[in-house]
Structure 1
Amino acid sequence: MGRAPRTPWRRGFVRALACALGLGLGLGAPVLPGLTSAQAQEADFATLLADQLYLDGPNRLIAQGNVEAFFENARLSAARIVYDRATGAMQIEGPIVLTEGTRAVILADSAELREGLRLGLIRSARVVLDQQLQIAANTVERRSERFTEMNNVVASACEICPERNTPLWEVRADRVVHDTQERQLYFEGARFRMFGLPVAYIPRLRIPDPSLERATGFLSPRFSLDSDHGVGLRAPYFIALSADKDLTLTPFLGTKGTYALEARYRQAFSNGLLELGGLIARDSIRQGELRGMVYAKGDFAVPRGYTLSFNLIQPSDRSLLEDYDRGEPRLTSDITLERVRRDERIRVQALQFRSLRLGDVNANLPNSVGQGLYDRRFDMPGVGGTGRIRLEAEGYSRRSPLAADPKRVARFSADLTWRRDTILPGGVLGAIGGNLGFDHFRIGAAASGFAPTVSRWRPSLMAELRWPLVRATAGGASHVIEPVAQLIWSNDRTYVLPNATSRMPELDEGNLFTFDRFAGGDAREAGLRANLGLSWTRYDPNGWSSTVTVGRIVRDRDLGQFSPASPLAGKQSDWLLAASVDTAAGLSLSSRSLFSEDFNLTRSAIELDWTAADFGISTSYMRIEADPFENRAVDASEWTFDGSRALDEYWTARVGWRYDIASRRAARTSVGLDYENECLRMAMMIEREYSATTNSNSTRFGLNIDILGIGGNPSITRKRCSDGL
């Protein structure tokens, strides 16, 4: 048959004819046993398209010129196909592109396939799995639908470019078998190379293909160098026990005599997650001691809309978590049952607090706590407005109380709050409200002589006026100025009661206009007082906004509720000055300062966060004066900074520190360098930290290398030809 001109009409006609002939010749897999005739015809359905198509005998079909063949989820593109109906074999000449769904692509020079493109031999092939892992092989033989055998193989997830044909990492092997059912790749005679240099020889190697996210095997190792352990190596081994649970074992070896093993068990349930773990170690930090820790985490949905969660942790000694970089110097364990709805919150909680700092004595702290809370908001019948009822029960105990602190305290509190807002003439917003608070204390024996039972009533009335003034400028910006005056009356009676939950009251823009500035229920604010404030907010059409708030509290008389160094002490509180700026470019700046009557700065906090395409900055400054009542004998002042800068598409530099200005020393300093391309992720970090548990300095160096493109570990970096490193 002669070659016809490639006109759009001719090409469409030939493709339609090829499709019909392809169906007639029965391209596809053999008929499966048990299928009816109609089902067999549907199973054998295939399509063949080409520029030229002709018959060479009764059983031989030849297609050439932009040939495409379709069967189920497989698609084949080639220059020429010769199909033998008698044997079901296809002789294919390339360049060949064979696509199977969205996860596998095979590029080859020539092939011999049968049974609907599923079996056969492919020569000079390159296999791309899940757009991540590339495997180049002399031959690829598809022995069955499950197993594919590749010979003389080079595998890598790195992009190979004409000007630089050596990938950053590669695995060369004599033979590779791909198990598509288990989604595993088995290498025989594997040689692992980096930057073109041999690194390791592994006779038999198994790795998951990129589509498998969970598979038993070793994870990427972690290298470290620090003053406590010397040169260290962590080699995590992941065990996929089943689809809903797994176990990770991480041995840790250090050249200074560290032998440790970490374990983590996770299980998913239909209603939640469970995680159990721990660590056991022998090291030179505590000679001759067996050290360890255990923890448990869980979060479960239980009937009637409740959530049961727990977070339990128990180390063997104060410095263990810091020595192994596993936690903070203050630990909180809890078991919580909670339900949160639109207008209701219910919570029952058991907590244990433990401090690992050298200056803290856990036996003297109220570290065993039980709490129960019911909080509901509702429309107040009859008088209008919104009502709120809050019931709380709390109890805590100390193992060895100090002279001024009771061993056990139990408290029940009830609050009924009402508030109604209205609009007055001239655009003034008015509000009235009230609060009736009741507390009942049961106090264990103490040398300080607290009464064994105390009941406290605290009625409060409130009136508030706000006058928002709005102005729009010709440029499109809008300004809102809002003066606020709030008058609150509470009875003046004070009580001699233990105070463990309200020792650090704050004054900020969030609680300037509230009934009570004590954080817990052990203390309640009393007396006649006026909360006064003024705020100015500017909204710019370019997408940024700024707010400035100034305010203070004026009292009828000083009842001595607050410590002398507190910003809330005296007849007039300190002045509050707060400001914030938020821009569309990712910049967020907030500042809060408190000034005394003579405008001496008593407390200050400044925080700046700026996130852009190629850099990120997070820095804060804090200054607070000494207050013995808050267990702070000297002034505290600290500056923290964490920043990152993208040096180019692959490299990112990081730096951070925490500097104790009052003590004139660095509490933490770190410098890091990260690299990531399409096939490799590397992180290097040097950190020096002042220990809160041992009062000594420690230095750490960490190196993490992740091989990307295998086992569900893709890169976020776009693939493109580059010189890379």
Structure 2
Amino acid sequence: MVAFVPATGAHAQSEQGGSSALAAGVLQQRQSDPNAKMLVTADELVYDYTRNEVIAEGNVQIYYDGAVLQARRVVYDQQGSRLRAEGGVRLKDKDGTVIAADSLDLSQDFADGFVNSLRIDTPDDMHFVAARADRSGGDTTVLTSGAYTPCEPCKEKPEKPPLWQVRAAKIIHKEKEQTIYFEDARLEFFGIPIAWVPYMEAPDPTVKRKSGFLVPQFVNSSEIGYGVTVPYFWNIAPNMDVTFSPLFVSKQGVMLDGEFRHRLETGTYSIRAAGIIQEDKDEFAGQPGYRDQRGMVETHGRFNINENWYWGWDGWLMSDETFLQDYNLISATTREVTSQIYLVGQGDRSYFDLRAMYFTGLTSYDVEAQQPVIHPVLDYSKTLGESVLGGQFSYDFNLTSLTRDEIDLRATSALYAPTFPTLYDGPTNQCDLAKVEDAGAALRDACLMRGMVGSYTRLSGVVDWRRTFIDTAGQMWTPFFNMQLDVASVQSQADDSPWLPGNDEQLFRAMPAVGLEYRYPFISAQSWGTQTIEPIAQVIIRPDETDIGQFPNEDAQSLIFDDTNLFDVSKYSGYDRVEGGGRGNIGIQYTANFNGGGQINALFGQSYQLFGKNSYAYEDMANTGAESGLETDASDYVARLYYQPTQNFSVINRFRFDQADWSVERYEIEGRAVLTEKLSVSALYGLYTAQPELGYYEEREGILGMGTLKLDERWSLRAAARYNLNLDEIDYTLFGVSYADECFGLALSYRSDFTESGNRSRVDTVLVTISLKTLGEAGFSSQLGSGSSSSD
């Protein structure tokens, strides 16, 4: 018996019976709401009780639980529990996935069936096409003559091949294994095959981590020869994995390399180890790598204690300083690695940092015994939220303890070499301590002690209080009090560390300071904005610095006098030196703010030693203070000029002029400009006069320029260059071009750098990186001129 329902644009809705079964057969597997209603529309709806079939004819649309099935004709076989759809079949699931086919024949539970001329488009831009799709076993789908791409089809010419795609004789998806297998696969760009593999596999999009082989990596250098590694990723658990990366090289044999990673509830840690028994160590003759066995161990970890505290570590152990670069385990331009364990905490007004550190140099010029072991260094600072005597009160603590096995004694200038030809040790520029007696007093000018031998422990505390008063005339008066207390223990032999006390010394130092800062801003409002002229004067009263040269200077060797520290209570960069004696700092500042958002700021000032010893005129083991511009009673002049007319352009100038003849001692100008939405540039020029007492015996002058250009939405260029005006040569260059769209990325760059690293004084690198969305990223790098290259 046949029941016929004429319906031109007819609608049928039911919770049971033929139409309900029709929709359920398509959507049963993915339904998430058992109470969802179903709507079927068609030109004709036929109930064939003889064959136990439900047939929908003409413009069939089935709506169920957020999904829509469209076809010219849909037949549901209730007895065989199969569903057939024909003619422009289109199924859009509630997650946005779209399946298009000429026809499909599936069992009710999607366990078995086939689809002809299939196309699948997912919400995350994955696109599959196949001549036929067969499903069996409830979890296996086979696409015959299939192709996959994440690239969107061309809107003007949809038939045009995508930028790239993977075609395969068969694409097999096993849902339980969460794996996609490709048989007889080839990678095509613009429809042109460029690579072929007989077999490959990849995790399906539902998987973020899966065991398997990764992209091969290739290396090539004159010392190790040609090599290849095919890393294997072992997904032990959702929070634990291992990557094995054995490297097979033609000259040295096999290097074993493995990394273990583990994620816990509060943090993560990793351990990596690599090692090799070299078959031809003579390739490294005269280098640190001239040994049979080489290797390294590396580990990192970080764990959160709570929202304010965390702890962690970084650890490095290696057979020699150039192993990492020789076998491409680290960037060729990395000059050192730091092993440390740390505890860090941060509050709204406080900061705590405790760590123990050990430094390992990675150049052939590094002397490991000269690197300090820090055990430990502690920094703590806090600013009270409540006022003290109406002002702001803050305090800082620093504990530094270190040990060094060998003195770090460097030549200040090659100009001394003719006078003391035996004083220096070749290219390392090390002073020969054994020649101290021969050099006599002149050694003080010829060598700098960058690090003492022995042990040094110092505990320092600094308190600071200040309060600002504004009188009826608008003048700002800020009295302040500052106190630094230092307790130190020095254990060093005088013969091993000249200019330091011998044997065991216990040192104490107190540096109290009281001062007053005065500012009187004159403000003028104009139609275009405001102007402010602000005279600034500061007077600091304190005793002389004590034990100058008795305290080792390990953390205050960097001293640059400029506009940024003109009004600091102490201009030293660390705790090992303190500024003493009475000092006055004066300056005048001008600021203009424009209504349109622009700004001009200028500062000019000078510092004066009013009474007592000028700390900067008394040299320590590293000559800190010499030729700084502060060693005379009246310092050099410092100035700043900043101009920012818009958010897209700014330039800042910093000057230091000699106080006697106004000659330029130090000058920097840095500019940044966003010229258009596509073009931005920046440049830095620096001029620094000779400082022979600090080891800079020639004037230094150079220009660094950088720029990026966005050609369109996908293409961009970048370039950088540094020109050494003293040597009249370019000592750093970078050129790059990149392309990126929704499915493909390409970056090419060339870099030339004279930074010393490993065994190399210059590194020229060509880098090519290709990114294929969902498949991964591959790169190739070649170090030109240094005889090594790598790719991955």
> TM range, normalised to the smaller chain?
0.7 to 0.9
Q: CA deviation at 1:232?
A: 6.6
Computed over aligned residues only, the root mean square deviation of the Cα atoms, in angstroms, reads: 3.6
> Residue 460 of structure 2: which of 398, 413, 430 is its match?
413
Counterpart Cα distance in 2 of 1:495 and 1:41: 79
Asked whether the 8 Å contact 1:29–1:43 carries over to 2, the reply is no
Q: Does 1:55 align with 2:46?
A: yes
Q: Deviations over 1:400-431 (max 9, x none)?
A: 23676452211111222211122221222221
Gap change, CA 1:537 and 1:310, over 3 Å in 2: farther
Q: CA deviation at 1:302?
A: 2.4
Gap change, CA 1:582 and 1:313, over 3 Å in 2: farther
Asked whether the 8 Å contact 1:300–1:309 carries over to 2, the reply is yes
Q: CA deviation at 1:692?
A: 1.3
Q: CA deviation at 1:98?
A: 1.7
| Range moving further from structure 2, 23-32 or 410-419 | 23-32
Q: Deviations over 1:592-636 (max 9, x none)?
A: 232222222222333344566434445433333333554444433
Q: CA deviation at 1:353?
A: 2.8
Q: CA deviation at 1:376?
A: 2.3
Counterpart Cα distance in 2 of 1:60 and 1:642: 72
What does residue 433 of structure 1 align with?
A: 480
Q: Does 1:166 align with 2:161?
A: yes
What does residue 36 of structure 1 align with?
A: none
Unaligned runs of 5+ in 1: 5-10, 33-39, 714-725
Counterpart Cα distance in 2 of 1:672 and 1:90: 56
What does residue 266 of structure 1 align with?
A: 261
Asked whether the 8 Å contact 1:168–1:194 carries over to 2, the reply is yes
What does residue 462 of structure 1 align with?
A: 515
Asked whether the 8 Å contact 2:511–2:543 carries over to 1, the reply is yes
Asked whether the 8 Å contact 1:213–1:712 carries over to 2, the reply is no
Asked whether the 8 Å contact 1:69–1:77 carries over to 2, the reply is yes
Gap change, CA 1:532 and 1:21, over 3 Å in 2: farther
Asked whether the 8 Å contact 2:735–2:749 carries over to 1, the reply is yes
What does residue 657 of structure 1 align with?
A: 721
Asked whether the 8 Å contact 1:96–1:109 carries over to 2, the reply is yes
Counterpart Cα distance in 2 of 1:208 and 1:78: 32
Q: CA deviation at 1:81?
A: 2.6
> Residue 624 of structure 1: which of 683, 688, 696 is its match?
688
Matched ranges for 1:226-241 at <5 A: 235-241=230-236
Q: CA deviation at 1:566?
A: 0.7
Matched ranges for 1:92-111 at <5 A: 92-102=85-95, 104-111=97-104
Q: CA deviation at 1:364?
A: 3.5
What does residue 720 of structure 1 align with?
A: none
> Residue 675 of structure 1: which of 717, 739, 742 is its match?
739
Unaligned runs of 5+ in 2: 410-432, 434-448, 617-624, 779-792
Q: Does 1:566 align with 2:566?
A: no
What does residue 699 of structure 1 align with?
A: 764
What does residue 596 of structure 1 align with?
A: 658
DSSP-derived class of the 1:191 partner: strand
Asked whether the 8 Å contact 1:293–1:313 carries over to 2, the reply is yes
Q: Does 1:295 align with 2:298?
A: yes
**Higher RCO (C-alpha under 8 Å, 6+ residues apart):** 1
Q: Deviations over 1:182-211 (max 9, x none)?
A: 442112232334454444443332112345
Q: Letter of the aligned partner of 1:43 in structure 2?
A: P
Gap change, CA 1:671 and 1:381, over 3 Å in 2: closer
Q: Deviations over 1:297-322 (max 9, x none)?
A: 22111269431122223443333445
Asked whether the 8 Å contact 2:484–2:512 carries over to 1, the reply is yes
What does residue 450 of structure 1 align with?
A: 501
Q: Deviations over 1:464-516 (max 9, x none)?
A: 122334444324x3444433222211212432322121112223443222211
> Residue 575 of structure 1: which of 629, 637, 647 is its match?
637
What does residue 531 of structure 1 align with?
A: 585
DSSP-derived class of the 2:615 partner: coil
Gap change, CA 1:431 and 1:86, over 3 Å in 2: same
DSSP-derived class of the 1:556 partner: strand
DSSP-derived class of the 1:27 partner: helix
Q: Deviations over 1:527-573 (max 9, x none)?
A: 21122233333444444444333222122147342233113221222
What does residue 315 of structure 2 align with?
A: 312
What does residue 605 of structure 1 align with?
A: 668
Asked whether the 8 Å contact 2:358–2:371 carries over to 1, the reply is no
DSSP-derived class of the 1:506 partner: coil
Q: Letter of the aligned partner of 1:485 in structure 2?
A: A
Asked whether the 8 Å contact 1:27–1:116 carries over to 2, the reply is no
Q: Does 1:519 align with 2:573?
A: yes
Gap change, CA 1:589 and 1:63, over 3 Å in 2: farther
Q: Letter of the aligned partner of 1:49 in structure 2?
A: V
Q: Deviations over 1:690-723 (max 9, x none)?
A: 351435334333333232244799xxxxxxxxxx
Q: Tell me the TM-score normalised to structure 1 length.
A: 0.85
What does residue 547 of structure 2 align with?
A: 495
Q: CA deviation at 1:459?
A: 0.8
Q: Deviations over 1:58-100 (max 9, x none)?
A: 4544445553324446432334333344444333233222233
Sequence identity of aligned pairs in percent?
Answer: 25
> Residue 538 of structure 2: which of 462, 465, 486 is its match?
486
Q: Deviations over 1:4-43 (max 9, x none)?
A: 4xxxxxx6xx4474788776557315999xxxxxxx9973
What does residue 84 of structure 2 align with?
A: 91
What does residue 413 of structure 2 align with?
A: none
Q: Deviations over 1:274-311 (max 9, x none)?
A: 13334446584546644443322221112694311222
Matched ranges for 1:310-349 at <5 A: 310-323=313-326, 324=328, 325-326=330-331, 328-349=334-355
What does residue 35 of structure 1 align with?
A: none
Counterpart Cα distance in 2 of 1:479 and 1:235: 66
What does residue 722 of structure 1 align with?
A: none
Q: Letter of the aligned partner of 1:75 in structure 2?
A: V
DSSP-derived class of the 2:473 partner: helix
Counterpart Cα distance in 2 of 1:22 and 1:587: 71
Asked whether the 8 Å contact 1:335–1:350 carries over to 2, the reply is yes
> Residue 186 of structure 2: which of 191, 204, 218 is its match?
191
Q: Does 1:424 align with 2:427?
A: no
Q: Deviations over 1:619-674 (max 9, x none)?
A: 43333333355444443334334433333443333333344433444433333332
Counterpart Cα distance in 2 of 1:2 and 1:66: 14
Asked whether the 8 Å contact 1:212–1:711 carries over to 2, the reply is no
DSSP-derived class of the 1:522 partner: coil
DSSP-derived class of the 2:573 partner: coil
